[in-house]
Amino acid sequence: MNNFGLDIARLGFPYHHSALSDPCPRVCEAKVAKLEQLKTIGRELAMGSQGGWGQTKEFLDLVKSIGEARSKAEEDRIVLREIDTLRRRLADPDVPRRRMKEYLIRLVYVEMLGHDASFGHIHAVKMTHDESLAVKRTGYLAVTLFLSDDHDLIILIVNTIQKDLRSDNYLVVSAALVAVCKLINEETIPAVLPQVVELLGHPKEAVRKKAVMALHRFYQRSPASVAHLVSNFKKKLCDPDPGVMGATLCPLFDLISADTNSYKDLIVSLISILKQVAERRLPKTYDYHQMPAPFIQIKLLKILALLGSGDKEASGHMYTVLGDIFRKAEHSTNIGNAILYECICCVSSIYPNPKSIEAAAAATSKFLKSESHNLKYMGIDALSRLIKINPDIAEEHQLAVIDCLEDPDDTLKRKTFELLYKMTKSTNVEVIVDRMIDYMISINDSHYKTEIASRCVELAEQYAPSNQWFIQTMNKVFEHAGDLVNIRVAHNLMRLIAEGFGGEDESADSQLRSSAVDSYLRILGEPKLPSVFLQVICWVLGEYGTADGRYSASYIIGKLCDVAEAHLSDDTVKAYAISSIMKICSFEIAAGRKLEILPECQSLIDELSASHSTDLQQRAYELQALLGLNSGAVEAVMPSDASCEDFEVDRSLSFLNSFVQQSIEKGAQPYIPENERSGIVDIGNFKGQYQQEASTHSLRFEAYELPKPSVIPPPTFEPSIPLSATTDLVPVPEPTAYTKDAHRASTKMPSSTDALSADVGVRLRLDGVQKKWGKPTYSSSPSASSSTSSASQNATNGLTHTDGGGGSVSLQTRETSHDSRRQQQAEVSAEKQRLAASLFGASSVAKAEKKPPTAAQKAPKAAAATKEKAATTTTTTVPSTPPPDLLDLGDPTSSDTPLDDPFKQLEGLLGSTAAASPGIINPPAAPASKAPDLMAIFTEAPTGVSHSSIDPGLSEIYSINKSSHIVATKKGPNSQDALQKDATARQVGVTPTGNNPNLFRDLLG
């Protein structure tokens, strides 16, 4: 019993509900006397509850020993032992019912701790049949906790439920209704539905309320089952009991969100209810922290938001009551803010009204200015709703938003990213996506990483200011979240590089490609790259690695060999690599240059020729065969840069007709379609002499997929191989190579699609799908860049220049204020403002610094040679160093250019005006993001200390200590309360002595 101290932590219930105050009491100095006192109370309490609720010592011991377990393993051992005991006891045919009840509660406990107690489920079901309400309720409680609505045992309970719903004891009916809510599934709804509907008219409001909730559940399970009951719901809205009315709002909300129009008639009455509630017409018992029935108000507001959405007339009725609620709202309590938030949601959903929006914006700004993180969070959410109506509202709060973005609290940060995502435009996309990517890199949560990666991709596709930026952004996304993004994104990127943006400007496209090649060659040096990204890299290098003549074929081939060797286990990457090598080789041969096969390349080919993957084998053999061909043939097989060219697939293979004719004349059997010859095992006959060749590249060890007629002929299309050989004019030295080439020529498969899709059948199909999917992207991206090209170019350049100017200014200020910390802080806030400017565009800060765009455009070029330019670039590189470096912020000058981001260098190579933009946009971000990092260190330090002081092995004692303080500090009178409580419990007679002699004996023994 002594060890009970562990769990005596009082719940620290705040009696004065200043809702914003932290409910957690603070721990303070230890006092031994108090601790002792508390231990005693704990013991007393344990005794009291023991006697009060009729549990045996066994149960108490179980709970206690689990409470004292020091490790999960120990807890598991105890629970497993308990499971054994219970299994034995339950197997006993005549257990007394009272005992049985306790066993069930113990089973519930065991399941709560995460163990399987399914052996006892049937006993719970049996217990629901019991006559006694006490036992029956325990049975119902256990089944609702044990079983899900698809459990097999449900069918055994339905009958009992039916009986209990007819009971004249309303408590039995209530218990049954609770079970109905949890257990009745779509199939069993009809069995209880009529009775539940009947209960809507039950004299007890508790039953009516539960019946309404049960019907709501039925609606969620199967909307059709209660479709005819809509009028009942409407009627229940006028129930004299506010509880029933409140409950009715739940199903109504669901019904209305499914179909708004048929409930417009409710608007007036709902508004009048809301008005009455807000005017405190409901009984006082529904007040919560001095607010009149806030939960009902919130539900009503949610429904009104639905009904008023896009309906000017309906919304017209709501403005007055919304204004009233805004006026009466209580900012100091949590619940008041909950109502306010719901009002804002409602205002932003219904037809806009300037006055309401003004009130909503005012409330939002109160949220954002609050100290409480919760309210800031709600404020950010509210803001993201309001900007849909009026984007200007965000402007006022830009600094608050930036603060939230840099807050150490992840939840707040994510919410802010959500807001930014919603307010992204082509003017601020670069800043936002950069931020998102930085954050994406910093987190581990794969669920959110996927989400934010896909958002980055979406924004980049929608608003990309330039091709280079797009490719760099995608590179970053792939590099850091490559395994999480959809493979189609990769295909999309390859397609973009292949097709280019505009089409009319060929040189821009080739520049784009060579920049991509440059960046990929650089990235390849990094150790761990996701498979998807490597595929993209291999493909691009294969297609365009040698296109601009800056890199030699052997250099690229060497790189590709490295990739293949470094990823031995990844067949897809190897396939991409070998196909790319093949492309490079064939371009070289076609161009008439002499091609040397590097030794590592040859060994790769040899290795893959013997690979267990037939796909890799095929590719290796193809490459080998190709190397032996003359340039004309190679060019026909692998035309250069033909990845975007359409090619027609002759599905009927009409060009084979003459061969088929010939063969049949020579006595060959005609082809029988697969569906007709299903069951015929003897295909050998049909395949005939080509069996051997077929086996070299068509043997598959995985299960065959179902034949899909619409698919482009897969590589292993037997008859086509030899046939096309005859029709084709390619001179063929040896049979294997012969078939390969012939096949290639016959399907006229351009190199790229081969790499993209020919390797796996599935991908082939996907490619087709992707085309549809990808289309809007391409049409939209050009519109972002080309249609508005001159305008947006100017705009972005203007903007970037503004930032650039800011950046250089900040550099100077930083240099001058090296010693003065205060100035640096001022600097940080200036940086923040600049970030705000780049995010929100039209801010006053930005305006102040803005220069005429023409000058802006010229300035960077002119300054390029000057020192100033050099200075700016050095500063720009500082922020782009990886996050850990941000911490040695002590002297920014010390971080040097070699740490430069690859992309920045790439841009330096390109030397275009656009190159300056992403680089320079960064500086405002950098120091700003330093601030929170430092903050994080400070804030983490104390918590870390407190943890370490608690965590060590003797934590039990510590926690006793701690809890004692909690009680001592937070709830002075509580210890007395507890004593009193115990005393009264004894007086009332719930003590062991009074009622349960047996139990008491247990205890004593």
Backbone torsions φ then ψ of 645, nearest 5 degrees: -75, 140
What's at 662, amino acid-wise? Answer: Q
> Given candidates 315, 337, 746, 929, which one binds another protein under the rule CB under 8 A?
337
206 binds another protein (CB under 8 A): yes
State both tokens at 642: 């033909």
| Ranges within 177-196 binding another protein (CB under 8 A) | 178, 181-182
DSSP-derived letter for residue 968 is I
CB of 148 to another protein, least distance (A): 5
CB of 105 to another protein, least distance (A): 5
562 binds another protein (CB under 8 A): no
String of DSSP letters for 932-997:
HHHHHHHHHHHHHHHHHHHSSTTHHHHHHHHHHHIIIII-TTHHHHHHHHHHHHHHHT-SHHHH-H
Q: Are 401 and 416 in contact (CB under 8 A)?
A: yes
Nearer to another protein, 179 or 745 (CB): 179
CB of 358 to another protein, least distance (A): 22
Backbone torsions φ then ψ of 883, nearest 5 degrees: -45, -45
**Binding-residue pattern over the window 150 to 169 for another protein, x denoting contact by CB under 8 A:** x------------------x
Between vectors from CA 351 to CA 349 and to CA 355, what angle results, nearest 5°? 100
Nearer to another protein, 115 or 687 (CB): 115
Q: Which range touches another protein (CB under 8 A), out of 22-30, 458-466, 467-475, 616-624? A: 22-30
Distances 371 to 21, 295, 366, 376, 377 between C-alpha atoms, Å: 11, 25, 10, 8, 11
523 binds another protein (CB under 8 A): no
Element (H, E) at 563: helix 553-566
Question: In 763-782, which positions are buried (b, 16+ CB within 10 angstroms) versus exposed (e)?
Answer: ebebbeebeeebeebbeebb
- Name the 3-class secondary structure at 706: coil
CA atoms within 13 A on the CB side of 835: 29
> Given candidates 39, 217, 455, 513, which one binds another protein under the rule CB under 8 A?
217
| Ranges within 592-651 binding another protein (CB under 8 A) | none
208 binds another protein (CB under 8 A): no
CB of 537 to another protein, least distance (A): 32
Q: Which range touches another protein (CB under 8 A), out of 370-378, 552-560, 628-636, 873-881? A: 370-378
| Ranges within 398-437 binding another protein (CB under 8 A) | 408-409, 411-412, 414-415
Nearer to another protein, 417 or 544 (CB): 417
Question: In 858-890, which positions are buried (b, 16+ CB within 10 angstroms) versus exposed (e)?
Answer: ebbeebeeeeebebbbbbbbbbbbeeeebeebe
- Name the 3-class secondary structure at 611: coil
Q: Are 572 and 578 in contact (CB under 8 A)?
A: no
Q: Are 13 and 974 in contact (CB under 8 A)?
A: no
CA distance 393 to 377: 17
141 binds another protein (CB under 8 A): yes
CB of 486 to another protein, least distance (A): 17
Q: Which range touches another protein (CB under 8 A), out of 38-46, 605-613, 621-629, 747-755? A: 38-46
Closest alpha carbon to 121 in 153, 89, 161:
153
CB of 30 to another protein, least distance (A): 16
> Given candidates 981, 999, 1000, 1002, which one binds another protein under the rule CB under 8 A?
981
| Ranges within 285-314 binding another protein (CB under 8 A) | 285-286, 288-289, 293-296, 298, 302
> Residue 357 CB: number of other CB atoms within 10 A?
17
CA distance 849 to 843: 10
Nearer to another protein, 377 or 478 (CB): 377
Nearer to another protein, 415 or 480 (CB): 415
Count of residues of this chain found to bind another protein when the rule CB under 8 A is applied = 112
Q: Are 641 and 586 in contact (CB under 8 A)?
A: no
Backbone torsions φ then ψ of 655, nearest 5 degrees: -70, -10
711 binds another protein (CB under 8 A): no
Please list, in sequence order, all residues whose beta carbon lies within 8 angstroms of the beta carbon of residue 447, skipping any fewer than 6 positions away: none
> Given candidates 174, 781, 843, 875, which one binds another protein under the rule CB under 8 A?
174
Nearer to another protein, 133 or 760 (CB): 133
Positive or negative CA dihedral for 63, 68, 72, 73? negative
| Ranges within 41-60 binding another protein (CB under 8 A) | 42, 45-46, 49-50, 53-55, 60
**Binding-residue pattern over the window 254 to 283 for another protein, x denoting contact by CB under 8 A:** -----------------------------x
12 binds another protein (CB under 8 A): yes
> Given candidates 747, 785, 959, 961, which one binds another protein under the rule CB under 8 A?
959
Q: Are 798 and 853 in contact (CB under 8 A)?
A: yes
CA distance 85 to 739: 72
CB of 111 to another protein, least distance (A): 7
Please list, in sequence order, all residues whose beta carbon lies within 8 angstroms of the beta carbon of residue 90, skipping any fewer than 6 positions away: 103, 119, 120, 123
| Ranges within 96-125 binding another protein (CB under 8 A) | 97-98, 105, 108-109, 111-114, 116
447 binds another protein (CB under 8 A): yes
CB of 264 to another protein, least distance (A): 22
Positive or negative CA dihedral for 871, 873, 875, 878? negative
CA distance 839 to 383: 15
963 binds another protein (CB under 8 A): yes
> Given candidates 76, 85, 129, 145, which one binds another protein under the rule CB under 8 A?
145
Between vectors from CA 317 to CA 315 and to CA 321, what angle results, nearest 5°? 105
> Given candidates 3, 17, 462, 748, which one binds another protein under the rule CB under 8 A?
17
| Ranges within 908-947 binding another protein (CB under 8 A) | 939-940, 943
CB of 219 to another protein, least distance (A): 10
347 binds another protein (CB under 8 A): no
| Ranges within 227-256 binding another protein (CB under 8 A) | 242-243, 246-247, 250
CB of 996 to another protein, least distance (A): 9
986 binds another protein (CB under 8 A): no
State both tokens at 774: 């990808």
- Name the 3-class secondary structure at 733: coil
State both tokens at 999: 């139990």
Q: Which range touches another protein (CB under 8 A), out of 194-202, 556-564, 693-701, 955-963? A: 955-963
CB of 367 to another protein, least distance (A): 10
20 binds another protein (CB under 8 A): no
> Given candidates 80, 91, 122, 134, which one binds another protein under the rule CB under 8 A?
134
Nearer to another protein, 848 or 945 (CB): 945
DSSP-derived letter for residue 13 is -
> Given candidates 18, 21, 132, 662, which one binds another protein under the rule CB under 8 A?
132
Nearer to another protein, 177 or 601 (CB): 177
781 binds another protein (CB under 8 A): no
How many residues would you count in the chain? 1005
CA atoms within 13 A on the CB side of 880: 24
Q: For the CA atoms of the chain, what is the radius of gyration?
A: 37
**Binding-residue pattern over the window 373 to 402 for another protein, x denoting contact by CB under 8 A:** xx-xxx------------------------
Closest alpha carbon to 198 in 183, 185, 180, 220:
180
769 binds another protein (CB under 8 A): no
| Ranges within 480-509 binding another protein (CB under 8 A) | none
460 binds another protein (CB under 8 A): no
DSSP-derived letter for residue 223 is G
210 binds another protein (CB under 8 A): yes
State both tokens at 35: 């601790």
